Structure formats: structure tokens, C-alpha cells
A = this chain, B = another copy of it.
């Protein structure tokens, strides 16, 4: 239960057998096997449907069944595609090689990481739209109430609307206090990087309310303008913020798995107890550190040669984003993001984002992500990932132009 694990389920497919269900009860899928007397985690019962990205993968597979010869282009899940610079891959290879020598062998490393820090009693706020793992993880840990079909929201979670109408920054004057504020900048999915003025307001808001900001800067390396790349560029942030980040999109480490967390020693719980102490305790007990080979790669990324090489790859993805932005803009659609982030956020007013997703997939064989997967505020949007080989991005742009220039009404996607 407490180690980082790759998982081997004993079976690949799960078969269901419907059990007798009273008509007035929600249908409960039942497995074939032995019922223990262990109750299911009630927090997991609250969780809605499937996680967004596996759901999209499933739809991609269904599409391939239907069109086995289609040349599918995936601009859905934000997975990097370009090779890692050799400086960095060689560092990891050398580290791995050395593990078979007496001098080079290393066992356990320093024990750090993060999870479980805040428990189930805290209240949380998230940007709407935002990366679904913030909400889903909060639900799993028991911080949320029930899901409301009518609003598409969980109770006890504060959804902070971030759209073009407010320059993608919440109206803090009407935002209630919460213990925790998840804030991702540049935002996934909108691609908006909060300005310095916006982040100053956010830090002030957290200080006034005694809240903690969990600031996710995973896409900071994509910032083109002078937006802050870290919350700690804002004076006073050390007393109210934790920053989480990752080598995934910075260095193409989506499969290598490495990230970091900054917990300032100035950050204290209401009792005065330092947050860093609990963070350290949890990490030592439950995590035990990232792979030492991955860490060797991380260090190489921070060398001047590695850093420069990485930025060439980032520039490549940014050029992809520019191509996609221009494509949608030329079709008369409102396009956001793509300048400070590898995501392009396209508005289809009055549409249902799953319908747009389905039509684009059916007619162009391109995988995107429906905006509603990121929260109710994404209901009329589609997220396009700029990760991909250049020729496929260009081909995708051509197919999209072809679809939308032929289409009678651009905005008629409601099902």
C-alpha cells in the first residue's frame, strides 16, 4: 500500500454480472467473486464516472475499431512527443550503467515527495476550468460533498470561474474563504498565465483569509511574456503558498516521472506548526523518493547545456501551438492560450463540448479534449494539445480547416 508501484492486475478485463437490483435503487455493478464484508470507500462512491483521460483513450480505441485505416492524430492528452536532449538521456544512462559497478551503486535516496498533507477536513477552491486531478483527488481524500448533476459541481468545493469575461482570473471580491486554493498558472486547460498584478491579488487574498495556495507551475517554462514563472516571485507568497512543479512538460519527462515541491519554512498551520515538518514526515513514511536515475536526469536538465537543449524542445512545441492558434483564428473562432502554454483553448459558443469532440473525431480523426472534462466552465470549449511532431500538427490544421470551412454553422454543436 505504501510503495511507489507499477501495477500488475491479475486480470486485464473486468467482467460484470448484474445482481438483483430494486428498481428504485441506482444500478450497482457487481463483480464475479466473493463479497468481503469490507465496505467500499464512500469517497470513491462519490466520484463521477471515469477519469477524463482514460475515457478519451477508450473513445480513441472505439474510433480505431470503427475506422481501422484512419490516420488518427492525437492532440488530446498532453503527452510530450519529441526526444529528450542527449545530454540528459546520457546522464540517466550513465547513472543506470554505474548501478552495476561497486563504486557506482546507490540504494535508497533522500526521502521526499507529497500527498495526504492536509487531511479531509479542509475546504478547497479550484479554478473552473482546471486540471481534473485537483478535484478528483480531493474527492478521494474526502474533502468534497456529493456531486450535483444539475450544476456539474461537487458540494463543498468552491469553483472559481476563470474565463475570457474576467481575463481568466477569479472575481476574488465574491469568492468565499477556503483553507486551500488550487491555482495553476499557466493554466491547464486555458493556457492563461496569470499576470503579476493578478498573482499579487491572489497572494493578498490568501493572506487576508489565512488560506494556503497550492500553486502548480508545471507549464512555467512555456511562458513567453513577463508573467511570473513562480508564485514566489510575489512578495509575501512564502507565508501562504506551496509550489508544485514537474519535469514532465519542462523536459519531456512524462514517462520518466520527476517533479518537485517547494514548501517554505515560513508557512505555518493555524497552531503555528510548520507545514514543512508534516510534509517531510509524510514523504519519509509514504513515498521514499523518486527514482535515482530520473533524478540524475533532472540534475542534467539544470546544467547550462541541458537547460539550453530543453528550451529548444520547448520552442518547438510553442511553434506548434502558434500554428494551431492561427488555424482556429483564421476560421473565425475565439482562441485562447497557446502563447504561454502548450494548450490551445477554443470557444464554440452555445455548443456541447462532447459533441464538438465527437464531430471532430468522426470527421477528421483528430483526438481533442472536451472542455467540460475540466469543469462546468469548459462546457463550450475544446482543448487542443500542441505536443506532437510538426508534420502531424500541420496535417491536423489542414484537416480542421477543411472541416470547419465546409461546415454550415460553426457553432451548431448542441446534441
Contacts and interface: CB of A to CB of B under 8 A. Distances in A.
Contacts of A254: 107-108
Interface string A69-86: 000000001011111111
A145 interface: no
B269 A38 contact: yes
Main secondary structure of the interface of A (DSSP, over half): loop
A271 B137 contact: no
Interface of A: 1-11, 14-15, 19, 28-44, 47, 50-51, 53-54, 77, 79-86, 88-90, 92-102, 104-109, 111-122, 132-134, 136-137, 140-142, 177, 179-180, 182, 206-207, 209-212, 214, 232, 238-240, 244, 246, 248, 252, 254-274, 276-295, 297-298, 387
A4 B2 contact: no
Given A31-B268, A40-B270, A120-B120, A115 B293 contact: no
A252 B107 contact: yes
Given A256-B293, A257-B290, A264-B10, A121 B284 contact: no
B96 A272 contact: no
Nearest to A135: B285
Contacts of A94: 93
B86 A30 contact: no
Given A92-B293, A133-B2, A136-B285, A268 B36 contact: yes
A203 B157 CA distance: 42
Contacts of A276: 9, 11, 14, 31
Contacts of A117: 1, 41
Given A42-B119, A115-B115, 12 more contacts: A4-B258, A6-B112, A6-B294, A10-B238, A33-B266, A39-B121, A39-B270, A93-B94, A95-B96, A109-B255, A116-B140, A256-B291
A14 B269 contact: no
B34 A268 contact: yes
Contact of A272 (B35, B53, B142): B35
A30 B136 CA distance: 33
B266 A2 contact: no
Contacts of A180: 38
A246 B96 CA distance: 18
A369 B137 CA distance: 36
Contact of A105 (B84, B140, B269): B84
Given A105-B252, A113-B5, A36 B262 contact: no
